Chains A and B, each alone.
Chain A
Amino acid sequence: MEFRTTLLEDNIAAISGEGRLNMVSAAALREAVGEVITQDRIRVVVDLSGIEFMDSSGLGALIGCLKTARQAGGDLRIAAPSKQVTMVLQLSNLDRVLKSYDSAEVAYRD
């Protein structure tokens, strides 16, 4: 899977992809987030609207990306998770750690 990066207002980086976030695609997500952090875009939102399925490898990548963003002084939030992604987040008790918003555009409007 390829992840696309879009710059939103206020230098927020939105990263999105379509398909499954699993052990096959997790490395590509880490790479995409690492790249925007290197470019000093430390407020990141991962738009999950195109992610139909996520497993614990994908979840681990999101946690790794969150740590990378926070270590750089920024943050990582998620937007528009599917029912299955929401289920995995809740069962893992990570829905409090990875804050979810309705869309990438509103993820930093607080």
Chain B
Amino acid sequence: MTDTSRTLVLKAPPGDVNTVHSFIQELWDAEPAIGDMDKMAFETALIELASNVIEHTGVGNGVSCVISIKATPTTLSAQLSDTAEVGDIQIVGRGMPDEDAESGRGIALVQMLVDELGYNRVGESNVWSFTRTRVE
């Protein structure tokens, strides 16, 4: 298997997380050998980050986000680059909130599902990237 990658330019609105789901499906269709556990973990992590980006855009002009995803024989990786303001960027030591919290679990979930998670503010963009080592 060679590397397979896909890129999406997401404008939200009108795009939303369901647009990202359809985009991820393209990678699964192109690479049917990727295992269910890896697909589930990768899709959950990417949707959490994309939701985070969309949610923190506030009202106004919405957000434009470039999402790139790549499958290699051993890894699945993603990069999100958005035009939002500096968002919720604390990723170190981020635990699960209390049981009755109704938000704040997204980044903690991502950390459990991927091997490397990075965030950088580059110019006017927030750049998130993560890699998951495939178990199958």
Contacts and interface: CB of A to CB of B under 8 A. Distances in A.
Interface residues of A, number: 23
A55 B17 contact: yes
Contacts of A93: 96, 99
A25 to B, nearest CB: 9
Interface in B69-102: 96, 99-102
A51 to B, nearest CB: 13
Contacts of A24: 16-18
A67 B100 contact: yes
Size range of the chain B interface in the assembly: 20 to 34
A78 B101 CA distance: 18
B100 A56 contact: no
B48 A63 contact: no
B102 A63 contact: yes
Contacts of B51: 22-23, 55-57
B62 to A, nearest CB: 14
Contacts of A87: 40-41, 44
Interface of B: 16-18, 21, 36, 40-41, 43-44, 47-48, 51, 54-55, 96, 99-103, 105-106, 108-109, 112-113
Interface of A: 20, 22-24, 53, 55-57, 59-61, 63-64, 67, 83-84, 87-88, 91-94, 97
